[in-house]
Amino acid sequence: MAEAQSTTRKLPYVAAITDGVRAVLKEFDNAFVIGEDVAGAGSVYGYYNGLLAEFGPERIYDSPISEEAIVGVGVGAAATGCRPIVDLMFMDFMGECMDEIANQLAKMRYMFGGSAKLPVTMLTMAGAGASLAAQHSQSLEAWVCHVPGLKVVMPTTPYDAKGLIIAAARDDNPVIVILNKMSLAMTGEVPVEPYSIPLGKANIVRPGTNYTIVALGRMLHEALKAAEQLKEFGIDAEVIDPRTLQPFDTTTVVESVKKTHRALIVHEAVRFGGFGGEIAAQIQEEAFDYLDAPVVRVGAPFSPVPFSPALEAHYVPNAARIVAAAKQQLGL
């Protein structure tokens, strides 16, 4: 036990990202980082701080202000033998380079019959809560989860941030790592040594007996708060963090629902057309006979993210809304 403690320390989420990227650059001589302000500024959120001094300008590149060029460089470099880490400052900017993502990055390995590998790790920032308004606050994971050829992960803790970044870089397929700007200061235990978290394996963060909550991204922390509040109503909620959305760990979720007979799914993205609908469909396809009530979804309203702090706080799902939805489902 003492040995395990000596190799683990508390890090904020933002530093765990840095630690994961550093581990990748040390493991792979052909890995590099490219993006806007990633070198001199260490990114707008600082999670590449110190890497330019440590690895030099040949491996940490400041790009022009062109998401199309950033992803294009990543695609070409990966196809010719490198393991690039490409940085898209905000997930909203995927609209600038969706052709490269959906038609090149996702499809080249398939179209070349497997002769070309595309080990691209894409780091991007999603989520609201910082009053960055409608063009810098979206959660668009459903976009990329729908594209065959892409893998998609959403780290929710510092431990997961480092482990999933390393796992993404070791994979020979493109992996999009969706980070959350409101989690950057959150601290947690992170091992010093490199480690990876298997892609496609969910994490049962809180075991429970009679209610299942599947929470994506930062909503995990709101779901854990909600689970504590639900105890006073006799609800012992099991809280599951998928961690990987594509491929999705259907088995863990379905086995939980077979045990609890009820399910609620929460994500920060707009509820309509969100990834929660896919999870709900998989539950009803594989565990319909075990359900005692329809699956409930909690998400943002069908609106752009407002700039106003008061409106934004109302817009983003929270523990209170999860509790209210669960109570309505259970008739409490």
Q: Which of 170, 191, 212 is the last residue of a domain?
A: 191
* pLDDT tens digits for range 255-272: 999 999 999 999 999 999
- In a domain, residue 33? The reply is yes
Instruction: Taking residues 56-81, report their average pLDDT.
Output: 97
Q: What is the pLDDT of residue 73?
A: 97
Question: In this structure, what token pair is assigned to residue 72?
Answer: 């294009």
- In a domain, residue 1? The reply is no
Specify whether 215 is located in the same domain as 117: no
4 has pLDDT over 60: no
- In a domain, residue 196? The reply is no
Helix (H, G, I), strand (E, B) or coil at 80: coil
* pLDDT tens digits for range 219-257: 999 999 999 999 999 999 999 999 999 999 999 999 999
Q: Which of 191, 212, 243 is the last residue of a domain?
A: 191
Band of pLDDT at residue 189, cut at 50, 70 and 90: very high
Q: Around Cβ 306, how many Cβ atoms within 10 Å?
A: 19
Q: What is the pLDDT of residue 296?
A: 98
- The tally of domains found in the chain comes to 2
Specify whether 17 is located in the same domain as 155: yes
Specify whether 239 is located in the same domain as 184: no
The enclosing domain of 274 has a CATH number of 3.40.50.920
Instruction: Taking residues 18-23, report their average pLDDT.
Output: 98
Q: What is the pLDDT of residue 308?
A: 97
High-pLDDT (> 90) share of the chain, %: 97
2 has pLDDT over 70: no
Question: Is-contact 239 224, C-beta < 8 A?
Answer: yes
Mean pLDDT of the chain: 96
Give, in degrees to the nearest 5, the angle at Cα 232 between 283 and 276. Answer: 25
High-pLDDT (> 70) share of the chain, %: 98
Q: Around Cβ 210, how many Cβ atoms within 10 Å?
A: 16
Specify whether 20 is located in the same domain as 145: yes
Query: Residue 221, class by beta-carbon neighbours within 10 Å (0-12 exposed, 13-18 middle, 19+ buried)?
Result: buried
Range of the domain at 279: 203-330
Q: Which of 165, 191, 217 is the last residue of a domain?
A: 191
Range scoring the smallest mean pLDDT among 5-9, 19-23, 51-55, 99-103: 5-9
Specify whether 35 is located in the same domain as 170: yes
Instruction: Taking residues 314-318, report their average pLDDT.
Output: 97
Specify whether 121 is located in the same domain as 210: no
Beta strands in the chain (DSSP E): 8-12, 31-35, 60-62, 83-88, 121-126, 151-153, 175-180, 187-191, 203-206, 211-215, 237-241, 244-246, 263-270, 296-300
Specify whether 105 is located in the same domain as 210: no
Instruction: Taking residues 162-183, report their average pLDDT.
Output: 97
Q: What is the pLDDT of residue 239?
A: 98
Specify whether 218 is located in the same domain as 185: no
- In a domain, residue 198? The reply is no
Q: Is 261 an active-site residue?
A: no
- In a domain, residue 13? The reply is yes
Q: What is the pLDDT of residue 216?
A: 98
Instruction: Taking residues 283-305, report their average pLDDT.
Output: 97
3 has pLDDT over 50: no
Q: What is the DSSP letter of 50?
A: T
- In a domain, residue 2? The reply is no
Residue among 64, 4, 2, 56 nearest 32 (CA): 56
Residue among 236, 223, 232, 233 nearest 317 (CA): 223
Q: What is the pLDDT of residue 74?
A: 97
Band of pLDDT at residue 87, cut at 50, 70 and 90: very high
The enclosing domain of 57 has a CATH number of 3.40.50.970
Specify whether 160 is located in the same domain as 11: yes
Tell me how far apart the alpha carbons of residues 319 and 87 are, in angstroms, rounded to a whole number: 31
